[in-house]
Structure 1
Amino acid sequence: MKAIQLTAPRTLSVVETAQPEPGPGEVLVRVGLLGLCNTDLGFFDGSSNYLRDKLKSYPFVLGHEWIGTVVGTGPGTDPGLLGRRVSSHNFRACGRCAHCRAGRIRSCPDRSEIGVLGPQPGAGAQLITVPADVLTRIPDTLSDAAGALLEPTAAAAHAVDRLGVVPSDRVAVLGAGTLGLAAAQITRATGADTVVVDPQPSARALAAELGLRAQAAPAEADAEGFDAVIEASGNEAAVRAAVRMVASGGRIAQLGTPHHPVDGFDAAALVIRDATLHGVLSGIGYWERLVGLVESGAVNLDALVDQVFPLDEVDAAFARLADGSRSRPKVLVRIDPALGTLGPT
């Protein structure tokens, strides 16, 4: 089979590799679409903190956002899964530690994440094996593009849930990328007054297209003005701004990932205002809720897709991912050209 392998910074190729076989409790999935994000870009250009901290090393098959079709089942797996469109989260936990026993698999110290953390190859391949118990079946009402975006955007649903957003809240979402636009649509669906903050005109235009209110920067009147703030960019200035914007007794979700310490982070202001800061990792446990929001029309994921590239143009896909002039945040790679409806192209 073919797979996308990174061997060094800015050095990737589509290689031939052995097909995997599903083990007990696993299924074999033919990958249709692969989503690329800033984590993948960090691996591509060598700037990733996972590389810096020696949590990942070249060479490896990248990819952790995907949708595919079950084409094989291992021992003890329901054969009724054959032919189903599926996706899943990418955490592979040990199942034995105190965190796993308590159901907190995202905190497992021995976990791996396909394509990101640990030795398992990623989903940037024509075939992957997946534990059947982590699969989410994708309903016919969702496009393949929307299905491929569930993995990153489920984290936005997690952030909204952690903040306990209610209709009476005033919510600020910092960053109008994939995570931010998903989070803003979800908070709007709760009935909360929501504003998106992003300095890029194209990002604000997309937010407006989605029916969201957007502005370029926090206004002076926004200081201490929001019950809930979702920082969805990982940008240093936005991380600092989140603290300035949260009201007394308010809540912040740090959904974006800064890749180094943030200078000038005002921890004292959090204490003085009795505010709560949540670090949000992954969307495990929130996929079904997100699927329901997409099915209902409350959340539009298809609108986030900029372009879909064929597998043999993966270099062009990364060039597009690095292009800051994109009007939409998401770049996809078509691994299997026969897989269903792809959404925007």
Structure 2
Amino acid sequence: MRAFVVVGPGRAEVRDVAPPVPRIGEVVVDVERAGVCGTDAEFYSGHMAYLRSGDAAYPIRIGHEWCGVVSEVGADVDREWLGRRVTGDTMLGCGDCYRCLSGRQHLCADRFEIGIRGGWPGALAERLPVPVRALHPLPDSVDATLGALVEPGGNALRVVEAAGVTPTTRLLVLGPGTIGLLAAQIAAARGAEVHLLGRDEPSLAYARGLGFTHTWRRSNLPADLAFDAVVDATNAAELPGFAVGRVEPGGRVVYIGIAEEPSLVDSRELVLKDVTAVGVLSASGGLSGTIELYATGAVDPRPLVAATVGLSEAADVLAGRRLPEWGAAPKVHVDPRR
């Protein structure tokens, strides 16, 4: 089968590789669609922290936002899975440690991460092996574009829940990228007043085109505008501290973006303002809820996808080369069958 392989910083190729064979407890999925995200770009550039920690190494087969159809099952797996459209959890815990047994398998010290950690192959390929316990069925109303947006949507849903969003919440989202916009859409669906802060006009204009009328840069964000919760969905080292400074006393700050360098937060400010700060790692726990949001039409993130390309075009996308006609939509999908 064909698979996209990153072989070193700034170097990738489409290779013919052996197709996966399902082991005990696994299925093989024919990939319909896969998303490309910032983590994938960091592997391509060589900046991904796992490359330094030893949790990942070149060559690596990336891709962890995906959907597809189950085409093979392991000997012990119910054959009713065959032919079902699915997506799945990226985080694959060992299943036996304290964290896994207490429902925190996404924090397992020995976890695999599909297309990211431990050498588990990713979804930028025609076929993908997945443990059956990680699968989530997709209803017919969730098409391939939506299916490949379930994983980022699960992250965003967990962010919104961590922020405690209600219809009375005024929420500030830092960063109008994929996760930030998904969090904004989910929060708006819950009735919140959503504000978005970005650093360039094209991304803010795009957000306004989605219906978000409250868009700001730091230079024009009103000093007296109070926010019940702030979400940092950026990789800017200075914004975690900024988020604490802008949230109301007694409010909540949620961090999902990761800066390349340490970011400083003054814990005195957290204490004196009685702020709750929460970090979110992965979509685990948010996938089923996201599928329901998409299936019912409560949230439709399909406009976030600028284009769908083939495997041979993935390197250009990872390098940041975009066609002008794609506009400012933040997400690019890959169809491995092209």
Q: Deviations over 1:248-301 (max 9, x none)?
A: 0000010111222015x3332111101011000111121121122223333221
Percent sequence identity is 37
Q: Does the aligned pair in 2 maintain the 1:304–1:328 contact within 8 Å? A: yes
Q: Deviations over 1:31-83 (max 9, x none)?
A: 12121111111110111122133321111211111111111111121212211
Q: What is the one-letter code of the residue matched to 2:283?
A: G
The answer to whether the Cα contact below 8 Å between 2:172 and 2:230 also exists between their aligned partners in 1 is yes
Alignment gaps of 5+ in structure 2: none
- Could you tell me which residue of structure 2 aligns to residue 213 of structure 1? 213
Q: Report whether the alignment pairs 1:311 with 2:272.
A: no
Match of residue 43 from structure 2: 43
What is the deviation of 1:216?
A: 2.7
5+ long unaligned stretches in structure 1: 338-345
Cα RMSD between the aligned structures? Answer: 1.9
Q: How many residues align?
A: 336
Alignment of 1:99-110 (within 5 A): 99-110=99-110
Using the TM superposition, give the Cα deviation of residue 187 of structure 1 relative to its aligned residue in structure 2, in angstroms: 0.9
Q: Do the aligned residues in 1 keep the contact of 2:237 with 2:260 (CA within 8 Å)? A: no
Structure 2 partner of 1:336: 337
Counterpart residue number, 2:244: 243
* 1:233 aligns to 2:222 (yes or no): no
The answer to whether the aligner puts 1:259 opposite 2:263 as a matched pair is no
Letter in 2 for 1:227: D
Gap change, CA 1:52 and 1:189, over 3 Å in 2: same
Cα deviation, residue 223, structure 1: 5.6
Give the TM-score, by structure 1 length: 0.92
Change (3 A) 1:131 1:322: same
Q: What's the CA shift for 1:163?
A: 2.1
Report Cα offsets for 1:93-142 as digits up to 9, x if no partner. Answer: 11111111111111211111011111212122211111112111122112
Q: Counterpart in 2 of 1:275? A: 275
> Residue in 2 aligned with 1:343?
none
TM-score, length-normalised on structure 2? Answer: 0.94
Q: Secondary structure at the match of 2:124?
A: coil
DSSP-derived class of the 2:319 partner: helix
- The answer (yes or no) to whether the contact 1:321–1:331 under 8 Å persists in 2 is no
How far the C-alpha of 1:336 sits from its partner, in A, is 2.0
- Counting only pairs closer than 5 Å after superposition, residues 2-151 of structure 1 correspond to structure 2 as 2-151=2-151
Does the residue aligned with 1:59 lie in a helix, a strand or coil? coil
Q: Distance in 2 between matches of 1:64 and 1:323?
A: 24
Describe the SS at the equivalent of 1:236: coil
Q: Letter of the aligned partner of 1:122 in structure 2? A: G
Where 2:333 maps in the other structure, the secondary structure is strand
Contact in 1 for aligned 2:126/2:337 (Cα 8 Å): yes
User: What is the one-letter code of the residue matched to 1:260?
Assistant: E
Moved over 3 A (4+): 218-224, 319-326
Once the two structures are superposed, residues 135-190 of structure 1 have per-residue CA deviations (whole angstroms, 9 ceiling, x without a partner) of 11122112211110111121110111122211111111111110000001111111
* 1:230 aligned counterpart, secondary structure: strand
